[in-house]
Copies of this chain bind each other. A is one copy, B any other.
Amino acid sequence: MSDAEFYADPTHSIGYLTRIAFRAFARALEVRTAPHGVSAGQWRFLRVLWQEDGLTQRELSRRVGMREPTTVIALNSLERSNFVVRQKSVEDRRKVHVYLTPEAKALHAVLMPAVAQVNAVALAGLTPDEIAILRKALTQVGRNLAVDADDAPSMDSAA
């Protein structure tokens, strides 16, 4: 098989493999968090807030890796579920700080083992070296394509 044929095969492209892996991760996590009333969309935000409570929505968006309207929707949902409260900043009234409720804080100890388990399952059969390279490569890919988004909005500008 030539290089061209290899990359033309949808089931071998890095993009395809990344999509399949992402969806599998999301599903595996959701299966474990849903019984505790935490959806996939809520999970990602809780994880970041467990690390640093009281972030503004802007900061939260950046750390979770979502756009702000997505954060607004997720926070509405988290508020309805009594997992967070919004509190307007006093020194800058545009800002809103997001704080975990005791219920959400209590979920930390319950749900974090799920991540560990999903990671263990996901990485079974890979050596520590391979895992390190996987991590490095995914980081690089994300960075490379983020740059692309900034400076290559059309197909004609490169190639």
- Using CB atoms and an 8 Å cutoff, list the residues of chain A in contact with chain B: 7-29, 31-32, 35, 44, 47-48, 50-51, 63-65, 112-119, 121-126, 130-131, 133-142, 144-146, 148-149, 152-155, 158-159
Distance between A17 CB and nearest chain B CB, rounded to angstroms: 4
Query: Which residues of B lie under 8 Å from residue A133 when comparing CB positions?
Result: 130, 133-134, 137
A17 and B137 alpha carbons, distance in the complex (Å): 9
Would you give the shortest CB distance from A45 to chain B, in whole angstroms?
Answer: 9
CB distance from A155 to the nearest CB of B (A): 4
Report whether over half of chain A's contact residues are helix, strand or loop; otherwise say mixed: helix
**Minimum CB–CB distance for A85 against chain B, Å:** 21
- In the complex the two chains form, is A138's CB within 8 Å of B18's CB? yes
Least Cβ distance of A138 to chain B in Å?
4
Q: Is the Cβ of B7 less than 8 Å from the Cβ of A138?
A: no
Tell me which residues across on chain B come within 8 A of A137, comparing CB atoms: 126, 130-131, 133-134
